[in-house]
Structure 1
């Protein structure tokens, strides 16, 4: 318990807390308490994440729960803190960064860290107010759970709380707090911070903590002559490759892949200007602030590798040999295409790899890009078309029907001999009906601004099980309205 806390105001969540990251010592963080917000209210709660934490969802929505997760009452057994890190932002070294508005409550005995994002300024806020706004908080809450529903590694979101306190961004908005949950929030930037400041003792302590806690196999790996730090770099590279392959297969744009937004565990982290593609445009830029297109959809695999190279540079004092560090990155170049093709084969309902699969995948992506066909709707219609034998709804998406027909013929030949029902079943497990499109999030946000949170709750239910049909909810799986293309999402939140 922090000495800043008044015992009379403590909220007991009924959880046991462990030292976790804070055991690394004060060089890694600053202890502080969240700043209260006036007249808080509930916006959304994930019962599934509550269950993972061991919290009763009904109690969670009590006044005590509200006070705890908006940051107004200290939580028994915790020593809140904000961590320090550095990083490259848009390819440029930005120096010291840190948790500018995220405050750790701590780590549960079950191994999950809990953060309050938007809980007030920290020593790392860089003149910012330490707050998050309702708009971005709802987006992060919903997308965290949407990605989990899609089976993509991600940080999670327990709840969103709001307040009518005003926060100035491009205009005045209202404040909110997201309670985020993950096995670890350690980023590439944590390693970069200590490497850049030539603090090798802290760098080694951090690497040892990550290896012993999350990658124990690196201690006994024969790879790289038993160099555990090189083995760690390779393991992180492979997890990152697999993660980005899943992003590309589902049509997810992160929007701001700075090194301080890259998880050491290969999780999707920091939901800012993200977007799921509507029309398939490989060069799509979802971040209005990204004027150079550095983080365009088709650049994400290369940017991830660039970020891993930065991590390799940070770990070099521990690895000890530049050639070994470069070799530890090499598997990214094989894991990413392998994982991407595996994900795309699953979308096509193909159980096994075969010669010609890459050409089949590249062929359909080229057709989709030529006409900017709606990505999610195409794959879902194709899934149903295989099941029913009627591909006319798929053909209706294209102007170039001869081109599509030629591809469909090749695809039919590739899956010949496999029962259509088996193929379709695999497809329907891989091609979601529902994704968090920008316009759906915007509608929920606008309603929430009027204290109507039913849209948030509805989207949460759909996105938690996005492969299910959810009878009566087809409107949430339809084409985006024309105005959706005018939505601008930036880094400001």
Structure 2
């Protein structure tokens, strides 16, 4: 394992022309200390728990003692927020500390959130609060463990420094990792400020670093856009399949690599509700669960417009038509996996849509139902009471269950084999809002053991974790209508 001092930086974004970012020194908390560290993310950098326990770890990642090779900067971007174009956003409370070469040859952005004001803070203090820091820290690992592309979280740095939002809150910092933090809104900024040269420079930078098979080729920009469309469609299909709502799909929160980026008011479905709105600030339901595919396509159209100095309008329009079939293909593939179906058949869509209608009418818990489906008994006449009991009236499930049984029989499905397979597909644990809130409340009292406990659970969501079954339960009464907003 490497030491902090052995981390190798290769800061390609810092080498882009002036105007892509502002160089900013972090403003550390005076009492910053590591309160939780993610072992999996440590390993990505070639570090271990012993290295994280050194006092230098908090000083380095809290911005007090930058390592040689770090070049902290705040990236500029714009974006459509709730459908309205905002011409200049940028990293208002985040800093790209540097890009680290990993032991496997890859590269990771080290991104510090809460490191103080930048030229893009728009009058803000540039700080993060413990509440949102814990939520992002846990969510990145929860989605990664579910097989969903995402930023990762390295550690939380705690502080007693107060931060003022709607009320006085506890300050904190988060260090997150991603191959890139370039967003749709980064391209929008240079397009709408009429800097076509910078649009081309940015596109070629991203292609060289992350789409090297396209570098230098004729037509590379159109092919690049097509791959971004396809990655985004697959990402949203994976969100929908696990019941994840992002909550604030502004174009500045959309990763050019198809990663889940900028966790704010996200939420996993409890009761199945297609119109679930997890963001208290989303009064019109723009980012409701069932609207996510539509919004993703709208955001891609904004990106396509930003690329019109590199591709033709006809190319952009034709590329956008890839989204819906790509999304549908990936979504149906994920849902067949969740149902334990090995073959693709024409009737699969209606089988799935009818199940969703039943689940919605009975307010069936999404994750608990699919976990229970892992033990479906396909024997003729089997009642499957553990599944029937999710529905009101239970008889409503019987007709669908018979269709499902016949479908399994038609492809020769064997219960024991399917049960074992589904245990690796349908999670027992997802990061429900009430679970995250419970961890936040303990952390605000200075006890981070619950954060670490939840991190371990959501990092292995398919395991049983004996003695921890309460975390897989539907929300208690106090946790059913938690308010989560964009405030952070």
Indicate the TM-score class for this superposition, using the shorter chain for normalisation. Answer: over 0.9
3-state DSSP of counterpart to 2:358: helix
Please state if 1:191 is matched with 2:182: no
Corresponding position of 1:236: 228
Corresponding position of 1:393: 386
1:51, distance to aligned residue in structure 2 (A) = 0.4
Corresponding position of 1:138: 134
Corresponding position of 2:62: 70
**Residue deviations 1:31-70 (CA, integer Å, cap 9, x gap):** 1111010212322111111001111222113211011122
Unmatched runs of 5 consecutive residues or more in structure 2: none
- Contact persistence 1:382–1:391 (CA under 8 A): no
Corresponding position of 2:432: 437
CA RMSD of aligned residues (A): 1.5
Q: Residue 212 of structure 1 is aligned with which of 204, 208, 227?
A: 208
3-state DSSP of counterpart to 1:179: strand
1:386, distance to aligned residue in structure 2 (A) = 4.3
1:422, distance to aligned residue in structure 2 (A) = 1.9
Corresponding position of 2:120: 124
Corresponding position of 2:314: 323
C-alpha distance in 2, partners of 1:12/1:244? 36
1:392, distance to aligned residue in structure 2 (A) = 1.0
1:471, distance to aligned residue in structure 2 (A) = 1.3
Corresponding position of 1:7: none
3-state DSSP of counterpart to 1:103: strand
Aligned length: 478
TM-score normalised according to structure 2 size: 0.96
- Contact persistence 1:286–1:296 (CA under 8 A): yes
Corresponding position of 1:180: 176
**Residue deviations 1:94-116 (CA, integer Å, cap 9, x gap):** 11000011101110123111100
Map 1:161-176 onto structure 2 (within 5 A).
161-176=157-172
TM-score normalised according to structure 1 size: 0.95
3-state DSSP of counterpart to 1:317: coil
- Cα 1:460–1:387 change in 2 (3 A) is farther
- Contact persistence 1:87–1:188 (CA under 8 A): yes
Corresponding position of 2:22: 30
- Contact persistence 1:84–1:96 (CA under 8 A): yes
Corresponding position of 1:8: none
1:415, distance to aligned residue in structure 2 (A) = 0.7
**Residue deviations 1:299-321 (CA, integer Å, cap 9, x gap):** 000000000000000001111x2
1:194, distance to aligned residue in structure 2 (A) = 0.3
- Contact persistence 1:12–1:76 (CA under 8 A): no
- Contact persistence 2:226–2:319 (CA under 8 A): yes
C-alpha distance in 2, partners of 1:387/1:214? 46
Corresponding position of 1:251: 243
Corresponding position of 1:334: 325
Corresponding position of 1:411: 404
1:217, distance to aligned residue in structure 2 (A) = 2.8
**Residue deviations 1:418-472 (CA, integer Å, cap 9, x gap):** 1112222222211100000011111111111111111001001111110111111
Decide which structure has greater helix share: 1
**Residue deviations 1:153-192 (CA, integer Å, cap 9, x gap):** 0000000111010111110001111101010011000000
3-state DSSP of counterpart to 1:27: coil
Corresponding position of 1:284: 276
Q: Residue 305 of structure 1 is aligned with which of 288, 293, 297?
A: 297
Q: Residue 347 of structure 1 is aligned with which of 335, 338, 345?
A: 338
Q: Residue 443 of structure 2 is aligned with which of 445, 448, 467?
A: 448
- Cα 1:362–1:206 change in 2 (3 A) is same
